[in-house]
Structure 1
Amino acid sequence: MAGNLHVRNLDDDLIAKLKMRAARHGRSVEAEHREILRQVLASEGGPDFDDLASELRKLTASRKQTPSEVLLRKGRDER
């Protein structure tokens, strides 16, 4: 699915640099803009599961933890 993106309030210097870069690569300014976005976003991988898990452990380290077997036993006893 193709969409449109409008970028407003760019500095004149930035626009000039984008035009020069597009000319060097033989592309239109719009095509260069698309390529820059494509390259940057492709290199930006998603978060690593191990990193997320480590961060979660740090955030919850000071909280009281109830072992799962205790919770399961309690749930069974309440039935």
Structure 2
Amino acid sequence: MIIQQEEKFKEVLAKIEGKINEQSFFNKFLELYPEVWKKHKITYSKFTRSKKFGQKIPLPKPEISLRKEIRLFLQKQ
């Protein structure tokens, strides 16, 4: 979960030059918000370590979840 995701995505969208697609958006997000990305990955890592052996993880991997959120945001635009 990314705090103030909508505002951050709008800012990223405004800074993208050229063609806007999921990959360019993802790359620009990582460039503008490396600390947010790092925190997102750390949260996922903590969760996977805290799960009990043999249980499935209900959370998608950080890259997959961020790409899904980007895809949904771009569809709304």
**Larger fraction in helix:** 2
TM-score strictly above 0.5? no
Q: TM-score, normalised by structure 2?
A: 0.29
> Normalised by the size of structure 1, how large is the TM-score?
0.28
